[in-house]
Amino acid sequence: MAKIFRHKAYLIGIHVLTLIFLFTTLYAYFPWIRVKVKEIIDPADKVYTVAHRGASGYAPENTMPAFELAIEMNADSIELDIHLTKDGVPVVIHDETVNRTTNGKGYIKNLTLEQIKQLDAGSWFNEAYPMFARESYEGLAIPTLDEVFDTFGKDTNYIVEIKEPAPNSNIEVLLNEAVEKYGLEHEVAVHSFSASSLRKLHSINPEITLYQLVWNDYAASRVSEAYLRSVKTYAAGISPNFQGINAAYVAQVKNFGLKLMPYTVNYQVNMDKAYMWGVDGVYTNFPDRFLEVIETNRKNAQW
């Protein structure tokens, strides 16, 4: 009997050791598992849905209807871009020219606010995306940053992108003035590809959350720890292009104590992948789609 008991104990021990070895191997070679284990022990409060230029898959980007629709869809934040007009007013538009998204031509920096307000920023969308076209989009105006903050106030969160600023543009000061004017220090985050611009804003107002935008030409599995250490001195996280990251990249950044929110994730297969990797949020033109992905994954307990 004792011999049988020892034999059973030996087999159980072998199985336990095998399971430990298997889990250790998976933990070592599959970074998303490390992230998920960390989340089980110390779970993230939320995976954020950031409406990229508003709900720009359904309405003209960076316009009031796009922001309104994103809020209706329960996006956590609306993302918008700002440039300065010739007369120094922050206006909400992505490109440095008005050529692509209006019926006008020219660089924003060479146009006054009065000139910009005469442009049609919606009809192009109806022509490009007839399945989502609406008569109300015709003749939409480019909004100013003040108009967006004044309209939505504290009812939503914002991520404002400072485009590559011109030397001595003072855009960081003007942005901070708008944030303080409407009391949005805790509702507004800022991101930019320009580390110098983010550092400048951080020195002006360290209360504003910052994210460093990153572009990778190919899928990177690692990022320099020296770079992450530098970013951590002024920003809460990084926002890389989705095609330029993988699970190991996400794990490294999160384990370093920085948040990671990739852009721009529009297809469900990529949304599922980003969610499984353990990102803190995604930028998407279709906020309703990502909210459905989050709900489905949680229902299925697919972390």
- 83, 94, 186, 191: which is the annotated catalytic residue? 94
Task: Quote the CA–CA distance of 120 and 296 in Å, as a whole number.
Answer: 39
Is 186 a catalytic site residue? no
Work out the number of other CB atoms within 10 angstroms of the CB of residue 255: 13
Is 202 a catalytic site residue? no
Task: Quote the CA–CA distance of 187 and 189 in Å, as a whole number.
Answer: 7
Q: Can you spell out the DSSP letters for 153-167?
A: GGGSEEEEEE-SPPT
Q: Give the torsion through C-alpha atoms of 28, 31, 32, 38, to 10 deg.
A: 70
Strands (E) located in 138-275: 157-162, 188-192, 209-214, 237-240, 259-260
- 7, 52, 191, 202: which is the annotated catalytic residue? 52
Are the CB atoms for 239 and 219 separated by under 8 Å?
no
What are the beta bridge partners of residue 212?
192, 238
Q: Which residues are catalytic?
A: 52, 94
